[in-house]
Amino acid sequence: MKRIRGFAVAMTALFFVHVALAADTPPRAAIASAHSLATEAGFEVLAQGGNAFDAAVAVAAALSVVEPQSSGIGGGGLFLLRRAGDGKEVMIDARETSPIAVDMKDYVGANGEPDRDHATNGPLSAAIPGEPAGLVWMAKHYGKLPLAKSLAPAIRIARKGFKPDGRFLKELAMRKEVIARYPASAALYLVDGEAPKSGWTFKSPDLARVLERIAESGNDGFYRGELAQVLVDGVRRQGGRWTLDDLAKYEVKERAPLAFDYRGWHIVTASPPSSGGIALAEILNVLGGYDLGKLDRVHRVHLTVEAMRRAYRDRAEYLGDPDFVGMPIARLMSPDYAAGLRASIHPEKATPSELLPPYLAPEQGTHTTHFSIMDKEGNLVAGTQTVNLIFGSGFVVPGTGFVLNNEMDDFALVPGKPNAFGMLGNDRNAPKPGSRPLSSMSPSFVIGEDKVGVIGTPGGSRIITMVLEGILAFIDGESPETFVGNPRYHHQYMPDVISAEKGAFTPDEVRALEAMGHKVSESERRWGFMNAVSWDRKTGAMHAGSDPRGDSGSGVVK
Ligand code: DON
């Protein structure tokens, strides 16, 4: 009974939020993305009469040109939309899929150990791209403009070229060895076999032609015909397993987002194949049972870390592609389940992860990208898109101008062995022909009585905890310009350690957490590239914040 009443209350709250949001509109539009050229592309399309969804296509496509280390036409993404007119909320799942001929033996070396090269470099690491179909779908079903208009800025930048920022050049140098293996990759990204230096102009006329094909013929321009044949031939020549069938059968999935309430705020977020929404719900449901305002920072962090630990354990155990495996989603998101988790948390002592049923994490950077958009009609887009690791697989098929992803590594390729993010998984997240790898991408909306926020970030397994900390700061009254820059901390069950950016904790806080049994490791690097926008319906104030960690980011309200 209690549950049914709870559901009814939640539905009523939802109804009022929808009605209230539909009743008025933001005074201006706001876009935050990882690059000023992408943000400008979005505003260009809005100025031509496009809506937030057309702008999202323009921003996403421009990012694929100006930030190819993070996302692109050879990758995929999850796009969370809210249409103001009817309150429809949907997640466009343009996640990559496993080739039908996938063979897990490819990812085990002769010595029986995981073959990390095959998992992360070159054609065997590349899954079937979803990004082109995602953009086509978004434009066709939600946009107002033809693709030719929303893709025009990206096509223009790809052909004319631009001068990459320092992050692009640094990340390119980090991936040089793999890029140099493949002639078309080297021709596109290297200068005389070397990583280019500042002042270099990057152009990709081949990518401009690929985008034009998509603009002219939609999915057929990429997934069928001449380009499909070129892609399949190129991948197979270098040892990959793609077939024409893989491309022809690729489909975008429209999925219902996950939604739950936290302290009077309605959170709308990514559903599987992302683990992000479920983990956010688990963590916030656990935290909702504490009077956090009455606690000092150390105890707040302790309880948050304990909730993170438990949510990441469940990710490894239960989650995979919803079209292929059953998942106890309702249970994991239920307040009763959270109460059980809460009961297992000692208020003063860390729970060693090894005491939780079983299931490791290196550094993670900014190679994936997130943009947030709000238009004057009140339409919202939170888009996170990726090629997985820096410059994806490093492999460019000759004549195409874009790098293929290495998203196969998001599968549990060798069950029980960690991927590049230290994430573990079991057969639920093993690749099956045509299945989608589990993601951490967590594009989210945070809807309150007066304020609406759109938020997300790259950062591999840390995406979820970054979005969590962003949501908590927004709810506490911080604006996107400031919270995107806050120092962050993270715990992912294994390794059993709180990793923290410089400045996240004072020395006293570290000592107090250690006294509770936590291990705290300060990271030399900073992580994430959060882009968020917000609107205060009461005051009309709008904000767009781009993470100061990325030197090219751009948040604009106009
Ligand atoms: O979908 C995922 O969870 C990963 N492919 C995201 C990769 C990522 O964020 C890399 N950036 N640091």
> What's the token pair of residue 301?
């962090």
384 is a catalytic site residue: no
Active-site position among 39, 366, 368, 457: 368
Asked if residue 177 and residue 109 are part of one domain, the reply reads yes
CA angle 537, 540, 545 (to 5 degrees): 95
pLDDT tens, 424-460?
Answer: 777 889 999 999 999 999 999 999 999 999 999 999 9
Domain range for residue 205?
56-248+364-429
Stated pTM of the model: 0.93
CATH code, domain carrying 469:
1.10.246.130
Mean pLDDT estimate for the chain: 93
Do the Cβ atoms of 246 and 130 come closer than 8 Å? no
> Is residue 214 located within the same domain as residue 260?
no
- Distance separating alpha carbons of residues 513 and 521, to the nearest angstrom: 11
Whether 440 is in the pocket of ligand 1, judged by its Cβ within 6 Å, is yes
CB 459 near ligand 1, within 6 Å: yes
Is residue 493 included in any domain, yes or no? yes
Report how far residue 479's alpha carbon sits from residue 393's, in angstroms, rounded to the nearest whole number.
36
Do 445 and 534 meet the contact criterion of CB atoms below 8 Å apart? no
Measured in Å, residue 508 CA sits from the centre of ligand 1 at 33
Q: Is the C-beta atom of 423 inside 6 A of ligand 1?
A: no
Q: Which atom of ligand 1 is nearest to the CA of 407?
A: 5
In this structure, of 24-38, 212-226, 267-281, 414-428, the range with the lowest mean pLDDT score is 414-428
Residues 152-199: pLDDT tens digits?
A: 999 999 999 999 999 999 999 999 999 999 999 999 999 999 999 999
Quick: pLDDT tens for 363-414.
Answer: 445 579 999 999 999 999 999 999 999 999 999 999 999 999 999 999 999 9
pLDDT at residue 472 in the model:
98
* pLDDT one-digit tens code per residue, 264-304: 999 999 999 999 999 999 999 999 999 999 999 999 999 99
Report in angstroms the alpha-carbon separations of 432 from 43, 97, 184, 228, 238: 40, 9, 30, 22, 22
C-beta of 364 in contact with ligand 1 (< 6 A):
yes
Q: What is the pLDDT of residue 365?
A: 53
Per DSSP, the three-state class of 158 is: helix
Q: Which two tokens stand for residue 78?
A: 């999850």
| Strand 76-82 relative to strand 30-33, pairing | unpaired
**In this structure, is residue 552 part of a structural domain?**
no
Answer whether 388 contacts ligand 1 (Cβ < 6 A).
yes
* N- to C-terminal Cα separation, the chain: 48
| Cα–Cα distances in angstroms (integers) from residue 340 to residues 286, 307, 331, 335, 345, in the given order | 9, 11, 11, 9, 9
410 lines ligand 1 (CB under 6 A): yes
Q: What separation in Å is there between the alpha carbon of 317 and the centre of ligand 1?
A: 19
Nearest to 402 by CA among 216, 230, 242: 230
Length of the chain: 558
Q: Is 18 domain-assigned? A: no
Which of 71, 421, 435 is the pocket-test mutation for ligand 1 (most atoms within 8 Å of CB)?
421
Shared domain for 303 and 420, answered yes or no, is no
**Would you state the structure tokens that stand for residue 548, as one six-digit string?**
């100061």
- 15: helix, strand or coil: helix
Asked if residue 421 is part of any domain, the answer here is yes
The span from the CA of 363 to the CA of 498, in Å, is 13
The answer to whether residue 394 sits within a structural domain is: yes
> Do 410 and 313 share a structural domain?
no
Can you point out the beta strands (E) in 469-513? 489-490, 498-500
Give the β-pairing of 369-374 and 380-386.
antiparallel
In a shared domain, residues 261 and 232: no
Same domain for 88 and 191, yes or no, is yes
31 found inside a domain: no
Ligand 1 centre and the CA of 86: distance in Å?
Answer: 32
Q: Give the pLDDT confidence score for residue 358 in this predicted structure.
A: 55
Domain co-membership, 192 together with 274: no
Q: What's the chain's Rg over C-alpha atoms?
A: 22
- Check residue 193 and give its pLDDT: 96
Using the mean position of ligand 1's atoms as its centre, give its distance from the Cα of residue 468 in Å.
16
Residue 182 sits in the same domain as residue 149? yes
CB-ligand 1 contact for 460 (6 Å cutoff): yes
Has residue 277 been placed in a domain? yes
Q: Are residues 106 and 239 in the same domain?
A: yes
Task: Please tell me the residue having the least CA distance from ligand 1 atom 2.
Answer: 439
* Nearest CA among 155, 96, 76, 137 for reference residue 383: 76
Of ligand 1's listed atoms, the one at least distance from the Cα of 366 is 12
Q: How far is the CA of 192 from the centre of ligand 1 (A)?
A: 30
- 308-357 pLDDT, tens digit per residue, is 999 999 998 899 999 999 999 999 999 999 999 999 999 999 999 988 86
In a domain, 436, yes or no: no
User: Is residue 166 located within the same domain as residue 230?
Assistant: yes
In 305-426, beta strands by DSSP E:
369-374, 380-386
480-539 per-position pLDDT tens digit: 999 999 999 999 998 899 999 999 999 999 999 999 999 999 988 889 999 999 999 999
Residue pLDDT, tens place only, 82-126:
999 999 999 999 999 999 999 999 999 998 899 999 999 999 999
Number of domains in the chain: 2
- Adjacent-strand bridge partners of 534: 453, 543
Helix or strand holding residue 151 (H, E): none
Q: Are residues 92 and 227 part of one domain?
A: yes
Q: Does one domain contain both 373 and 307?
A: no
Atom of ligand 1 nearest to the CA of 528: 12
Token digits for 407? 């998203």
